Amino acid sequence: MNHTELGLLIARNCYKEDTYTPWGSRAISFDRRILSTNPALLDEIAHHLIKLLPNDISLLIGNANGGVPLTQAFRRNIQIPITILQKDDQNNLVVGHCNEYRGWVATLVDDTLCKGSRIVEASNLLNQLGITIKNVLCVIARGTIGIANLRERNITTLSLFTGEELARYRSKNI
Protein backbone atom coordinates (compact mmCIF):
# COMPACT_ATOMS: atom_id res chain seq x y z
CA MET A 1 0.00 0.00 0.00
CA ASN A 2 1.40 3.40 -0.91
CA HIS A 3 1.24 6.61 1.13
CA THR A 4 -1.84 7.99 -0.62
CA GLU A 5 -3.77 4.72 -0.26
CA LEU A 6 -2.91 4.65 3.45
CA GLY A 7 -4.07 8.26 3.85
CA LEU A 8 -7.38 7.44 2.19
CA LEU A 9 -7.78 4.35 4.37
CA ILE A 10 -7.07 6.27 7.58
CA ALA A 11 -9.40 9.09 6.54
CA ARG A 12 -12.14 6.55 5.82
CA ASN A 13 -11.68 4.38 8.94
CA CYS A 14 -10.21 6.56 11.70
CA TYR A 15 -12.22 9.67 11.02
CA LYS A 16 -14.33 11.13 13.83
CA GLU A 17 -15.48 14.35 12.23
CA ASP A 18 -13.89 17.35 10.61
CA THR A 19 -12.55 19.71 13.21
CA TYR A 20 -10.70 22.98 13.16
CA THR A 21 -7.41 23.43 14.94
CA PRO A 22 -6.92 26.30 17.40
CA TRP A 23 -5.06 28.13 14.62
CA GLY A 24 -8.04 27.86 12.24
CA SER A 25 -7.01 25.18 9.75
CA ARG A 26 -9.21 22.23 8.89
CA ALA A 27 -8.09 18.93 10.39
CA ILE A 28 -9.26 15.42 10.94
CA SER A 29 -9.78 14.04 14.40
CA PHE A 30 -7.97 10.71 14.72
CA ASP A 31 -9.95 8.03 16.56
CA ARG A 32 -7.26 5.83 18.14
CA ARG A 33 -9.86 3.32 19.33
CA ILE A 34 -10.26 2.14 15.73
CA LEU A 35 -6.68 0.89 15.78
CA SER A 36 -7.39 -1.63 18.53
CA THR A 37 -10.26 -3.06 16.49
CA ASN A 38 -8.44 -3.11 13.15
CA PRO A 39 -5.07 -4.89 13.53
CA ALA A 40 -4.47 -4.94 9.76
CA LEU A 41 -4.71 -1.14 9.59
CA LEU A 42 -2.55 -0.80 12.70
CA ASP A 43 0.13 -3.02 11.14
CA GLU A 44 0.02 -1.05 7.88
CA ILE A 45 0.44 2.25 9.74
CA ALA A 46 3.32 0.77 11.76
CA HIS A 47 4.95 -0.49 8.54
CA HIS A 48 4.89 3.06 7.10
CA LEU A 49 6.04 4.66 10.36
CA ILE A 50 9.04 2.33 10.60
CA LYS A 51 10.28 3.78 7.31
CA LEU A 52 10.52 7.20 9.01
CA LEU A 53 12.77 5.97 11.84
CA PRO A 54 16.35 7.24 11.76
CA ASN A 55 19.04 4.56 11.30
CA ASP A 56 20.61 5.37 14.68
CA ILE A 57 17.45 4.66 16.70
CA SER A 58 18.15 2.53 19.77
CA LEU A 59 14.95 2.77 21.85
CA LEU A 60 11.25 3.34 21.14
CA ILE A 61 8.93 4.57 23.89
CA GLY A 62 5.18 4.52 23.38
CA ASN A 63 3.49 7.52 24.94
CA ALA A 64 0.47 6.78 27.13
CA ASN A 65 -2.80 6.14 25.29
CA GLY A 66 -2.08 7.13 21.68
CA GLY A 67 1.35 5.59 21.35
CA VAL A 68 0.54 2.26 22.98
CA PRO A 69 -1.17 0.40 20.09
CA LEU A 70 1.41 1.67 17.60
CA THR A 71 4.31 0.65 19.82
CA GLN A 72 2.80 -2.80 20.29
CA ALA A 73 2.59 -3.15 16.49
CA PHE A 74 6.28 -2.20 16.22
CA ARG A 75 7.16 -5.11 18.49
CA ARG A 76 6.16 -7.44 15.67
CA ASN A 77 8.32 -5.66 13.10
CA ILE A 78 11.57 -4.34 14.58
CA GLN A 79 14.29 -5.69 16.83
CA ILE A 80 15.13 -2.75 19.10
CA PRO A 81 14.11 -2.24 22.72
CA ILE A 82 10.59 -0.91 23.19
CA THR A 83 8.88 0.28 26.35
CA ILE A 84 5.61 2.05 27.10
CA LEU A 85 4.60 4.95 29.32
CA GLN A 86 1.26 4.44 31.04
CA LYS A 87 -1.07 6.67 33.06
CA ASP A 88 -2.14 5.90 36.62
CA ASP A 89 -5.60 6.40 38.15
CA GLN A 90 -4.90 10.12 38.64
CA ASN A 91 -3.89 10.52 34.95
CA ASN A 92 -0.18 10.92 35.80
CA LEU A 93 2.48 9.36 33.60
CA VAL A 94 4.09 6.21 34.99
CA VAL A 95 7.51 5.25 33.67
CA GLY A 96 7.44 1.50 34.26
CA HIS A 97 10.60 -0.11 32.89
CA CYS A 98 12.22 3.11 31.64
CA ASN A 99 14.78 3.22 34.48
CA GLU A 100 16.85 0.52 32.78
CA TYR A 101 17.46 2.86 29.80
CA ARG A 102 19.27 5.67 31.66
CA GLY A 103 21.68 7.39 29.27
CA TRP A 104 19.87 6.21 26.13
CA VAL A 105 18.56 8.41 23.30
CA ALA A 106 15.01 7.47 22.29
CA THR A 107 12.15 8.16 19.92
CA LEU A 108 8.76 8.73 21.51
CA VAL A 109 5.74 7.29 19.66
CA ASP A 110 2.27 8.86 19.73
CA ASP A 111 -0.70 8.85 17.40
CA THR A 112 -1.29 12.60 17.04
CA LEU A 113 0.76 15.74 17.64
CA CYS A 114 -1.29 18.89 18.25
CA LYS A 115 0.29 21.44 20.60
CA GLY A 116 2.94 19.00 21.80
CA SER A 117 2.06 19.27 25.49
CA ARG A 118 1.73 15.47 26.00
CA ILE A 119 5.07 14.92 24.29
CA VAL A 120 6.75 17.67 26.33
CA GLU A 121 5.34 16.20 29.56
CA ALA A 122 6.64 12.74 28.66
CA SER A 123 9.99 14.10 27.49
CA ASN A 124 10.49 16.06 30.72
CA LEU A 125 9.73 12.98 32.81
CA LEU A 126 12.07 10.81 30.74
CA ASN A 127 14.82 13.44 30.87
CA GLN A 128 14.63 13.29 34.68
CA LEU A 129 15.38 9.56 34.33
CA GLY A 130 18.35 10.24 32.07
CA ILE A 131 16.64 9.36 28.79
CA THR A 132 16.91 11.90 25.97
CA ILE A 133 14.06 12.14 23.48
CA LYS A 134 15.51 12.93 20.05
CA ASN A 135 12.40 12.39 17.88
CA VAL A 136 8.66 12.01 18.11
CA LEU A 137 7.10 9.57 15.65
CA CYS A 138 3.40 10.09 14.98
CA VAL A 139 0.69 9.29 12.49
CA ILE A 140 -0.65 12.86 12.30
CA ALA A 141 0.97 16.24 13.01
CA ARG A 142 -1.84 18.78 13.20
CA GLY A 143 -0.64 22.29 12.44
CA THR A 144 2.74 23.81 13.17
CA ILE A 145 2.47 24.80 16.84
CA GLY A 146 3.39 21.37 18.18
CA ILE A 147 6.23 20.94 15.72
CA ALA A 148 7.63 24.35 16.74
CA ASN A 149 7.22 23.58 20.46
CA LEU A 150 9.17 20.35 20.05
CA ARG A 151 11.81 21.96 17.83
CA GLU A 152 12.50 24.45 20.66
CA ARG A 153 13.38 21.42 22.79
CA ASN A 154 15.55 19.87 20.04
CA ILE A 155 12.99 17.17 19.29
CA THR A 156 12.40 16.36 15.63
CA THR A 157 8.86 15.51 14.48
CA LEU A 158 8.52 12.54 12.14
CA SER A 159 4.92 12.18 10.94
CA LEU A 160 3.14 10.24 8.23
CA PHE A 161 0.52 12.91 7.59
CA THR A 162 -0.56 16.40 8.49
CA GLY A 163 -4.10 16.98 9.68
CA GLU A 164 -4.72 19.01 6.53
CA GLU A 165 -3.61 16.10 4.31
CA LEU A 166 -6.07 13.73 5.99
CA ALA A 167 -8.84 16.31 5.74
CA ARG A 168 -8.19 16.44 1.97
CA TYR A 169 -8.25 12.63 1.82
CA ARG A 170 -11.51 12.67 3.77
CA SER A 171 -13.11 15.06 1.29
CA LYS A 172 -12.15 12.62 -1.52
CA ASN A 173 -13.94 9.80 0.35
CA ILE A 174 -17.25 11.62 0.75
- 138 pLDDT band, cuts 50/70/90, is very high
Q: Is the pLDDT of residue 124 over 70?
A: yes
Domains of the chain by start residue, with CATH: 3-173 (3.40.50.2020)
Q: H helices within the chain, ranges in order?
A: 3-13, 33-37, 39-50, 67-75, 117-128, 145-152, 163-173
C-alpha angle 15-22-112 in degrees, rounded to nearest 5: 45
What mean pLDDT comes out for the span 160-168?
A: 86
Helix pair 39-50, 67-75: axis angle to 10 deg: 80
Q: What is the pLDDT of residues 85-116, one digit of tens each?
A: 777 776 666 666 666 788 889 999 988 888 88
- 26 pLDDT band, cuts 50/70/90, is low
pLDDT-above-90 percentage for the chain = 22
pTM for this model (two decimals): 0.84
